Amino acid sequence: MPWSAVPLLCAAIVLLPTASAHAWTERELMVGDLSGTLTLPMPGARGPAALIWPGSGPFDRDGNLPEARPDMLKLLAHRLAEAGVASLRVDKRGIGASKGAVAREEDLTFDKSIADAVAWIDRLRQEPEIEEVALIGHSEGALVATMAAQQRDVSALVLVAGASEPAPAIIARQLEMAGAPETLRRASARIAAQIAAGQTVDPVPADLAALYRPSVQPYLASWFALNPADELASTTAPVLVIQGTTDLQTTVDDAHRLAASRSGIELVILSGMNHMLRTAPSERSANLATYSNPTLPLAPALAETIAAFLRAR
């Protein structure tokens, strides 16, 4: 997540050519202690590339969690490559191959995630195959991408399943959707307000410790201060907002609020797509069952819609 070092160029090693409808190649890139995978559509071809930023929590470059491996961002990168768009997907600071980039969770802040994204933009621009750089942010990564687009000129900004309100409001909504007891929701709102006010909350109720443990509160405080729709209004790049109708974490209303934040924003609603970018029913248990199934294809038209938008830029 945080970034505090000068970008360091490292030798790129071709990991593997992969057989598909259109072959792609992948190689490892690094910036300091941060690691990512560059996926190129065709050897020697020049074209657009997108930096893909994952969502909140311990999601790695492929869109996987320690307890679940949906591979959604890996699949997205490969589908984009088949459509002629290169991409760079990265492990956030403290995650995966970037784990050694931070010593303590307390040192992570949202601002440092933004700085890391900016460093990756600069690094990606140095690749000879890359003509221009766009940003794709998934979930919380949509806000990271938005903030990075305020600091660097990018060809386009794609926000997939992004929130439109400050994080405390999103947390409150998700707890309600998950059926959390009212007493727990009130406790969460109280703790979120204290963190937003710059206070450290310790101890935290056991049922909320995973969300509000003291070591993650510096990150939460820096995240809570941002309003995604307001920040998007401060960008200038062409924007595509994509939202699925069966997403349990962000909503079509979020997408409409983001799209209304300024002119020059395209909105695409994909029927039946959930937060893991798969086709899923709205019923909660069946929807959640897709979160750990890497064999499921991406929702129809997702990669094609993104690729067409990026190529048109």
What pTM, to 2 d.p., does this model score? 0.91
Considering the domain architecture, whether residues 273 and 188 belong to the same structural domain is answered as: no
Q: Which CATH number characterizes residue 40's domain?
A: 3.40.50.1820
pLDDT of residue 22: 52
Using 50, 70 and 90 to split pLDDT, how confident is the model at 23?
confident
> Region 153-177: what's the mean pLDDT?
96
Q: Which distant-in-sequence residues (6+ apart) come within 8 Å of 190 by Cβ?
A: none
Residue 85 belongs to some domain of the structure: yes
Considering the domain architecture, whether residues 205 and 292 belong to the same structural domain is answered as: no
Asked if 271 and 186 count as a contact pair (C-beta separation under 8 A), the reply is: no
Considering the domain architecture, whether residues 263 and 155 belong to the same structural domain is answered as: yes
pLDDT in tens, 258-311: 999 999 999 999 999 999 999 999 999 999 999 999 999 999 999 999 999 999
Using 50, 70 and 90 to split pLDDT, how confident is the model at 2?
very low
Considering the domain architecture, whether residues 109 and 250 belong to the same structural domain is answered as: yes
Reported for 102-108, long-range contacts at CB under 8 A and 24+ positions apart, including other chains, are 102/1, 102/2, 104/215, 105/215, 105/216, 105/219, 106/215, 106/218, 107/2, 107/218, 108/1, 108/2, 108/216, 108/218, 108/219
> Residue 14: is its pLDDT beyond 80?
no
Edge-to-edge strand order for the sheet containing 265-270? 14-18, 24-31, 34-40, 86-90, 47-53, 130-138, 157-160, 239-244, 265-270
Q: With pLDDT > 90 as the criterion, what percentage of the chain qualifies?
A: 88
> Residue 41: is its pLDDT beyond 60?
yes
> Residue 254: is its pLDDT beyond 70?
yes
Residue 9 belongs to some domain of the structure: no
CA distance to 29, 38, 70, 88, per residue, from 16 (Å): 14, 11, 21, 15
Residue 233 belongs to some domain of the structure: yes
Using 50, 70 and 90 to split pLDDT, how confident is the model at 46?
confident
